[in-house]
């Protein structure tokens, strides 16, 4: 009881201090905020936003969302020695300081007469990579993951990323797109919190860093608006004939949880009601998002990392960091936004193994002449694998690791249990390894040719009809 009281008092004091900080600095009551991302957005809108940001409509959002990828993570060599570990100062805030898409100027159904250099926006393009490129730079979604392949394909991308890759030999044929005007949206916001981060310590520094990194993502929210409600099983039928049900979760014999899609486009609803002879209704609620901004930020971040990825000695790259045997020029290193910092303060990594995305380990000797091993492997705690185990996985072995504490939630009983579990770790990358070099994936070898446009539309329509008939 004494411990619980101390913890409750500590939590209250922390919340009280945070409330005081936000009221004094931003006149915001944090008890009205549901997440730190919405807190960042509210600060931005109340103190730094000088224009109205357009909300993208359904078709525009769907088109541009295809260009929204995450950070550029890739692996080029399986083993490296005498490596340096560099990290960008606030990569996404740096990217947010670039020109952002603002107002929609034009929609092009045919871009055959449009020059890429004169276009700012998002376009569907036919991509052809250079022959024998060892470090591809343009992302593609494949099997729920992002890959960087060679070959040719069709995709939607931000114009500035295409411009950055043209000098590398990439060829693009523009098909259709949305053109935007440019605006400086975030510079004042970024400057405020970055300067605060530089002079602050402890919780205030954490808060400044949080607001720097969390704002852009909220612009990428999906347009879907899902309502979750608990109902009696006997009442399910009236919801089935009047709502779009995305999912049904069994709780017990009497109660079920249903997930309702609330913001269906009115034209789609009208067609659906005519086809199914129903009277489905939908709340007219618009999600405040603009995926063009979120996509532009992540594209600018990938563009900034291109020169560092192309260094001959770079063996692995994460969203905002690289492992490389090259030593960066002094003009690239510093404390300013977008510059690199040496994560190990001049210490050289003796050897490192890189198995795939978020799968690597390395060792170095620190200033006290102690051998330090570090590892990152998706599925287990950071630094929980030894370099010996990493080497074993490299050789094709499977390592089993125990996770002593894992939380499990049960929907039916609403209980939470804590159990130990075991995970099996193995190489999962898609690339072939030849003479310590990973060979890029050729997308034309893993994705089958598409059907005709008619068959694609036909399959999608039949799938939608079957889905709603079942519901």
Our measurement of the distance from residue 352's CA atom to the centroid of its chain's CA atoms, rounded to an integer in Å, reads 26
Q: Judging by DSSP bridges, how do beta strands 171-183 and 121-128 pair with one another?
A: antiparallel
Cα(241)–Cα(263) distance, rounded to whole angstroms?
16
DSSP codes of every residue in 228-262: EEEEEGGGHHHHHTTSEEEEEEE-SSSEEEEEEE-
**Which is nearest to 93 in space by CA: 231, 297, 371, 378?**
297
For the chain, helix (H) and strand (E) counts, in that order, are 12, 21
Cα(454)–Cα(43) distance, rounded to whole angstroms?
48
Give residues with Cβ within 8 angstroms of 269, minimum separation 6: 280, 281, 282
The answer, as to whether pTM is greater than 0.95, is no
Helix (H) or strand (E) holding 298: helix 291-309
Torsion of CA 284, 282, 178, 133, to 10 degrees: 130
Least confident of 2-16, 60-74, 344-358, 399-413: 399-413
Task: Report percent pLDDT > 90 for the chain.
Answer: 62
Return the pLDDT at 183.
Answer: 96
Cα(219)–Cα(224) distance, rounded to whole angstroms?
14
Interval 266-306: pLDDT, tens: 555 555 555 555 555 555 545 567 999 999 999 999 999 99
Q: Please answer whether residues 156 and 149 qualify as being in contact, where contact means their C-beta atoms are separated by less than 8 angstroms.
A: no
CB atoms within 10 A of CB 67: 24
Q: In 170-201, where does DSSP find H-type helix?
A: 187-199
pLDDT band at 451 (very low <50, low <70, confident <90, very high): very low
Q: Is the pLDDT of residue 455 over 90?
A: no
Which single residue is written with the structure tokens 């871009």?
111
Please give the mean pLDDT across all residues of the chain. 88
Interval 156-176: pLDDT, tens: 999 999 999 999 999 999 999
Q: Please answer whether residues 337 and 94 qualify as being in contact, where contact means their C-beta atoms are separated by less than 8 angstroms.
A: yes
Return the pLDDT at 78.
Answer: 94
Q: Which residues, listed in sequence order, are joined to residue 126 by a DSSP beta bridge?
A: 154, 173
Helix (H) or strand (E) holding 12: helix 2-26
Please tell me whether residue 121 adopts helix, strand or coil conformation: strand
Cα(296)–Cα(293) distance, rounded to whole angstroms?
5
Which single residue is written with the structure tokens 């303060």?
345
Mean pLDDT across the stretch 244-258? 83
Which single residue is written with the structure tokens 């300081």?
97
Looking at per-residue pLDDT, the higher value among 203 and 296 belongs to 296
Give residues with Cβ within 8 angstroms of 210, minimum separation 6: 36, 40
Burial of 24 (0-12, 13-18, 19+ CB in 10 A): exposed
Q: In 91-176, where does DSSP find H-type helix?
A: 91-96, 159-165
Instruction: Please provide the distance, in angstroms rounded to a whole number, between the alpha carbons at the two ends of the chain.
Output: 50
Q: Is the pLDDT of residue 46 over 70?
A: yes
Burial of 375 (0-12, 13-18, 19+ CB in 10 A): buried
Q: Please answer whether residues 85 and 323 qualify as being in contact, where contact means their C-beta atoms are separated by less than 8 angstroms.
A: yes
Return the pLDDT at 453.
Answer: 58
Cα(227)–Cα(260) distance, rounded to whole angstroms?
5
Mean pLDDT across the stretch 193-210? 90
Listed as own residue / partner, the contacts of 42-45 with beta carbons closer than 8 Å and 24 or more positions apart are 43/189, 43/211, 44/186, 44/189, 44/215
Cα(95)–Cα(186) distance, rounded to whole angstroms?
10
φ, ψ (nearest 5 deg) of residue 100: -105, 150
Please tell me whether residue 115 adopts helix, strand or coil conformation: coil
Cα(41)–Cα(28) distance, rounded to whole angstroms?
11
Mean pLDDT across the stretch 458-463? 70
pLDDT band at 436 (very low <50, low <70, confident <90, very high): very high
Beta strand extents in 265-386 (DSSP E only): 314-317, 321-324, 340-342, 349-356, 359-365, 371-377
Q: Which residues, listed in sequence order, are joined to residue 351 by a DSSP beta bridge?
A: 81, 363
Cα(257)–Cα(231) distance, rounded to whole angstroms?
6
Interval 304-353: pLDDT, tens: 999 999 999 999 999 999 999 999 999 999 989 999 999 999 999 999 99
**Which is nearest to 178 in space by CA: 151, 150, 145, 156?**
156
Structure tokens at 68: 């929204």
Report which DSSP code applies to 186.
S
């Amino acid at each position: 009881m004494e411990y619980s009281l101390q913890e409750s008092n500590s939590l209250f004091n922390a919340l009280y201090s945070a409330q005081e900080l936000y009221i004094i600095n931003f006149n915001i009551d944090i008890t009205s905020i549901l997440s730190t991302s919405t807190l960042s957005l509210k600060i931005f809108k109340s103190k730094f936003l000088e224009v109205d940001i357009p909300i993208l409509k359904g078709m525009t959002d769907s088109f541009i969302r295809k260009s929204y990828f995450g950070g550029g993570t890739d692996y080029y060599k399986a083993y490296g020695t005498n490596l340096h570990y560099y990290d960008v100062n606030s990569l996404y805030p740096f990217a947010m300081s670039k020109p952002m898409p603002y107002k929609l100027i034009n929609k092009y159904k045919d871009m055959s007469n449009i020059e890429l250099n004169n276009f700012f926006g998002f376009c569907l393009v036919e991509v052809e990579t250079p022959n024998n490129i060892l470090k591809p730079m343009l992302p593609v979604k494949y099997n729920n993951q992002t890959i960087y392949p060679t070959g040719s394909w069709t995709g939607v991308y931000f114009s500035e990323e295409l411009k950055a890759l043209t000098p590398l030999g990439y060829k693009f044929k523009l098909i259709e797109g949305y053109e935007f005007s440019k605006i400086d949206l975030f510079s004042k916001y970024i400057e405020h919190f970055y300067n605060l981060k530089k002079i602050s310590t402890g919780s205030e520094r954490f808060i400044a860093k949080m607001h720097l990194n969390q704002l852009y993502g909220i612009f990428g929210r999906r347009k879907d608006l899902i309502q979750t409600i608990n109902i009696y099983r006997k009442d399910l039928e009236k919801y089935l004939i009047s709502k779009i049900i995305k999912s049904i979760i069994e709780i017990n014999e009497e109660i079920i949880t249903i997930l309702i899609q609330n913001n269906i486009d009115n034209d789609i609803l009208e067609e659906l009601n005519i086809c199914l002879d129903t009277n489905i209704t939908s709340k007219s609620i618009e999600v405040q998002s603009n995926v063009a901004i979120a996509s532009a930020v992540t594209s600018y971040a990938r563009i900034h990392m291109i020169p560092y990825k192309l260094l001959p000695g770079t063996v692995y790259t994460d969203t905002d960091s690289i492992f490389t045997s090259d030593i960066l020029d002094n003009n690239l290193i510093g404390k300013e936004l977008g510059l690199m910092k040496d994560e190990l303060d001049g210490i050289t990594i003796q050897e490192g193994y890189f198995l795939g995305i978020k799968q690597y380990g390395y060792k170095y000797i620190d200033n006290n002449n102690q051998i330090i091993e570090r590892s990152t492997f998706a599925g287990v705690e950071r630094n929980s694998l030894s370099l010996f185990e990493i080497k074993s996985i490299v050789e094709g072995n499977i390592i089993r690791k125990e996770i002593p504490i894992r939380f499990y939630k049960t929907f039916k009983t609403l209980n939470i249990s804590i159990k130990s579990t075991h995970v099996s770790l193995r190489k999962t990358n898609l690339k072939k390894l030849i003479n310590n070099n990973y060979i890029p994936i050729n997308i034309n070898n893993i994705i089958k040719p598409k059907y005709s446009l008619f068959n694609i539309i036909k399959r999608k329509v039949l799938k939608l009809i079957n889905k709603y008939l079942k519901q």
